Amino acid sequence: MYMKSVEIPEFEIIKNVELPARESALIIVDMQNDFVKEGGRLRVPTAEATVDNIRRLLDKARGNNVLVIYTQDTHYEDDPEYKIWGEHVKYGTWGWEIIDELKPDLDRDIVIRKTRYDGFYGTPMDDILRIYNIKYLVIVGTVANICVLHTAGSAALRWYKVYVPMDGVSALNEFDYYSSLRQISFLYRGVIVEGVDGIKFTVTSG
């Protein structure tokens, strides 16, 4: 066995973007106790550092009547994915619940339970976005190279324009973090934004 390191190619990062509120959605990926909190079964150490950033973006989205969708990774007894990761986010457990700091407002937000990495796979995500005439997706959450990347990729393959604020996603290590952002930028032509504060939702009358 030997060790090898590689450099991640450069990708563009923009500081500010304005998106039309009516045609935009905020997708919050898998911000659940098992992934974020101490004692979680698959905790991402950097995930908690993104919570306040995501909260600010969530408040901004709600304040501008932007559609907010949560994905909630959901597994059941003897789920095949346990063979890869061990038991995690099992339905009905504390670990499965979305963290208190980002709790959905069930009167206005939409929660989509997914059983695979991809938020579109086997879910009504695409149908919901089309019902609301959404064109632009701001994606935050965890894990960058797994559920965030697969969801962003599926969105791009359906011709949604994807925006990812760098301080709103987390990964298990630095390589996974930066390589995921580069993949979203290069392969899916997503837009990498420096931070959540650089995202503005514009509201037009009529």
Domain 13-202: give its CATH architecture: 3-Layer(aba) Sandwich (3.40)
Q: What is the pLDDT of residue 6?
A: 85
Does pTM surpass 0.75? yes
Low-confidence ranges of the chain (pLDDT < 50): none
Q: What is the pLDDT of residue 206?
A: 58
Residues with catalytic function? 30, 114, 147
Q: What is the pLDDT of residue 163?
A: 98
CA distance 88 to 96: 7
* 3-state per-residue secondary structure call for the chain: CCCCCCCCCCCCEECCEEEEHHHEEEEEECCEHHHHCCCCCCCCCCCHHHHHHHHHHHHHHHHCCCEEEEEEECECCCCCCHHHHCCCCECCCHHHCECHHHCCCCCCCEEEEECCCCCCCCCCHHHHHHHCCCCEEEEEEECHHHHHHHHHHHHHHCCCEEEEEHHHEECCCHHHHHHHHHHHHHCCCCEEECCHHHEEEECCCC
Q: What is the pLDDT of residue 204?
A: 82
Write down the domain spans for the chain. Answer: 13-202
Q: What is the pLDDT of residue 1?
A: 85
